[in-house]
Amino acid sequence: MKTKILLLVVVLQSAVTAFSQGKEVTYRDGEQALSGISVSPKKSLESKPGILILPAWMGIDDHAKDTAARLAAMGYTTFVADIYGAGKRPKNYSEAGEKAGYFKKNIKEYHIRIKLALDQLVKQGANPDNIVVLGYCFGGTGAIEAARTNMKVKGVVSFHGGLGRDVTRDIDKIASKVLVLHGADDPYESAQEIAAFQEEMRRAEADWQMVYYAKAVHSFTDKNAGNDNSKGAAYNELADKRSWEALLAFLKETL
């Protein structure tokens, strides 16, 4: 019996390793080379759903790749987008802030990079009519932008993402479903900004949900964020587990 259990563990570990490695995919935005990660399921779900993953401000990281692997193991075709470009990933938080800030200010360039990654997800086998975009932090902002600009996706999910928008922008009707998973004590989103976002969703006639997690601050899904809430960003195991279950329920309903 012990031998069988050991063999099962080895098989499962090998499967996770294979999924987590994925495949590096090179694509372009004009002269800029981009390098994303594609993870294909061993057996896709019947509707061939696809999930685009937008990483946090440090660019493609283990957290994003792990998410891609876990979802691929469930039958979803996944792709981790490269927003910054090959060779341009930040080396520290200071650089990450500058690079993420650039795309937030030049939002149309962020839109282009997201759309290019969506194209790659479809090229890897995802059904173009059955896609969800999810993102963490800076990537969560991008997921919401995919909804705001009505990219061809059925739903978007933001984990502790930025909710703000340029108030001079028009508010268009949002066709995709929107799920926002938010730390109740996140210091980076003011009450005013949250209220403005919710009013935007109402005016856009969106099918939206916003879930708050108690005692959770920014980056509550990132195990590398430490556990000191006073720093404004910290991992919260319970919020991480609950938000993952919320994601799975959303995917089941949407895809």
CA distances from 16 to 44, 63, 168, 230, 237 (A): 16, 14, 46, 34, 21
The total of other beta-carbon atoms located within 10 Å of residue 248's CB is: 13
The total of other beta-carbon atoms located within 10 Å of residue 204's CB is: 18
CA distance 221 to 177: 22
Report H helices in 77-160: 93-105, 107-123, 138-148
Domains, the chain, ranges and CATH? Answer: 37-254 (3.40.50.1820)
Q: Is 85 exposed, middle or buried (0-12, 13-18, 19+ CB in 10 A)?
A: middle
CA distance 65 to 80: 7
Closest alpha carbon to 83 in 133, 19, 125 = 133
In the sheet with 23-29, reading across from the earlier edge strand, the strands are 23-29, 32-39, 77-80, 50-54, 131-136, 155-159, 177-183, 207-213
For 16-68, give the DSSP string: HHHHHH-EEEEEEETTEEEEEEEE--SS--TT--EEEEE--TT-S-HHHHHHH
The total of other beta-carbon atoms located within 10 Å of residue 117's CB is: 24
What is the sign of the dihedral through the CA atoms of 82, 86, 92 and 97? Answer: negative
- One digit per residue, the tens of pLDDT, for the chain of length 255 reads 444 444 433 334 444 444 445 899 999 999 999 999 999 999 999 999 999 999 999 999 999 999 999 999 999 999 999 999 999 999 999 999 999 999 999 999 999 999 999 999 999 999 999 999 999 999 999 999 999 999 999 999 999 999 999 999 999 999 999 999 999 999 999 999 999 999 999 999 999 999 999 999 999 999 999 999 999 999 999 999 999 999 999 999 999
Closest alpha carbon to 148 in 117, 176, 116, 180 = 176
pLDDT of residue 1: 47
CA distance 51 to 127: 10
CA distances from 104 to 163, 165, 231 (A): 11, 9, 23
Q: Which residues pair with 177 in a beta bridge?
A: 155, 207
pLDDT of residue 21: 55
The total of other beta-carbon atoms located within 10 Å of residue 70's CB is: 17
